Amino acid sequence: DAIRAMGGSAVANGDDISSWEGAQRLINTAVESFGDLHVLINNAGILRDRMLVNMTEDEWDAVIKVHLKGTFAPARHAAAYWRDQAKVKGGPVDARIITTTSVSGIYGNIGQTNYGAAKAGIASFTVIAARELGRYGVTVNSISPSAFTRMTEDLRNYTEEDKETRSPKWIAPVATWLV
């Protein structure tokens, strides 16, 4: 509604992006609604923080599924779409994938073995996907925001200045710049 109120076009898709079929429907929804696909921003995530000795298999699996498969599945379907477009066009398309990693995946954070492993996997996924998809004209980058969000508010005592400077409103422009 906010996008439409500002004169833009938007469509919602409530599919589970960590499901193969849901990710395919997501990409199909974009193409059917807008006639093409130019950018995929992979930003889904959840936390199930727990010290390693207390972490359950379900907590591990849930985080890995949402972050890793939820990055892979939409990217795979988008990449197949762009590969087909490049073949039809006879040359590269102009497309982008932007993934979201985290300082927890780069430097580690106590109580986040599942989250850190997933985010490190996304960083590696991004490097490899960029190498694979460049031939089709797809640029793949990642952002690693350190943001104050509902997911991070309990990780430490944030000051009001932290909350402002780490606001998600500063992350969206970085993703937009990469597009």
Examine the residue annotation and report whether 115 is marked as an active-site residue of this protein.
Answer: yes
Annotated catalytic residue within 102, 104, 136, 142: 102
**DSSP summary character for residue 67:** I
Examine the residue annotation and report whether 87 is marked as an active-site residue of this protein.
Answer: no
Cβ burial, residue 177 (10 Å; 0-12/13-18/19+): exposed
CA distance 114 to 110: 10
Examine the residue annotation and report whether 119 is marked as an active-site residue of this protein.
Answer: yes
One-letter amino acid for residue 152 of the chain = T
Annotated catalytic residue within 81, 104, 119, 136: 119
CA distance 171 to 46: 17
- Where do runs of H (alpha helix) occur along 48-139? 57-64, 70-89, 103-106, 113-133
Which residues have C-beta within 8 Å of that of residue 18, sequence separation ≥ 6? 44, 65, 66, 69, 70, 73
Annotated catalytic residue within 18, 69, 104, 115: 115
Catalytic residues: 102, 115, 119
